[in-house]
Structure 1
Amino acid sequence: MKKFTDLKVGEEFFSTCTFSKKELEGYLAFSRIKNTIFDDDEYSTIVSGRAIIARMEGEFTRLSQIYGNMILLYGMDGDASWENRNTRFLKPLHVDEILKIKFTISDKKDTDGDFGMIAIDFEGKKENGELVVVSKKNLYRIKKEPPK
């Protein structure tokens, strides 16, 4: 685990994940998303964009460099070059495809005596290198001294 003071802008971390059909069905049931695309056999293996973001956030919190810190999702800022939008879904991801995730610390600020703020950019690619999703400026408050 790295403390807030050890995290550097530009630093990158990596992870991989997949979605099983059962996990996708569980997410759709939990989120109560209702879209006819998921009723069509041709499209039923496409993973929901929100499910991808939720999994990427989960993978981020489990990184060995991050896990153990008190970290709270603060929000998502837009990117000025994207007209203040945060996330782009560029290609579909299907059930059982591997998603390779790169997390980049794009900003870091000291906010008060107890907490700092880090901005994390997520990038998810398929094994063949096709870019699936880019999500910029996901903001996290992080306690400067992790719980003991």
Structure 2
Amino acid sequence: MKKFSDLKVGDEYFSTCTFSKKELESYLAFSRIKNTIFDDDEYSTIVSGRAIIARMEGEFTRLSQIYGNMILLYGMDGDPSWENRNTRFLKPLHVDEILKIKYTISDKKDQDTEFGMISVDFEGKKENGDVVVLAKKNIYRIKKEPPR
């Protein structure tokens, strides 16, 4: 685990994940997303964008460099070059496809004596290199000294 003081702008961390059909069905039931696209057999294996983002955020908190810190999602500022939008879904991801995730610390600021803020950019790609999703400036409030 890295403490807030150890995290540097430009640091990159990596993870992978997949979604099984059962996981996708569980997520859709939990989130109460209702979209007729998921009722069509041709599209029923496409993973919901919200499910992808939720999994990417979850995987971030489980990284060995992050896990153990008191960290809370504070918000999403977006990117000025995207008219301050945060996320772009560029290609579909299907059930059982591997998503390779890169996390980049894009900003770091002190908030007060107890907490700091980090901005993290997410990039998810398929194994063939196709970019599935980009999410910029996910802001996390992180305790400077982790709980003991």
Q: What TM bracket, shorter-length normalisation?
A: over 0.9
Q: Hey, what does 1:146 align to over in structure 2? A: 146
Paired amino acid for 2:71: I
Q: Hey, what does 2:105 align to over in structure 1? A: 105
Deviation, 1:78, is: 1.4
Q: Distance in 1 between matches of 2:72 and 2:19?
A: 24
Q: Distance in 1 between matches of 2:119 and 2:78?
A: 11
Q: Hey, what does 1:61 align to over in structure 2? A: 61
Q: Hey, what does 2:6 align to over in structure 1? A: 6
Q: Distance in 2 between matches of 1:78 and 1:45?
A: 29
CA RMSD of aligned residues (A): 0.2
Q: Distance in 2 between matches of 1:66 and 1:34?
A: 33
CA displacement, residues 67-121 of structure 1 (integer Å, 9 cap, x when unaligned): 0000000000011000000000000000000000000000000000100000000
Structure 2 gaps of 5+ residues are none
Q: Distance in 1 between matches of 2:78 and 2:62?
A: 25
Q: Distance in 2 between matches of 1:77 and 1:142?
A: 17
Q: TM-score by structure 1 length?
A: 1.00
Q: Hey, what does 1:49 align to over in structure 2? A: 49
Q: Hey, what does 1:28 align to over in structure 2? A: 28
- Number of equivalenced pairs: 148
Q: TM-score by structure 2 length?
A: 1.00
Q: Hey, what does 1:122 align to over in structure 2? A: 122
Q: Distance in 2 between matches of 1:116 and 1:48?
A: 32
SS of residue matched to 2:47: coil
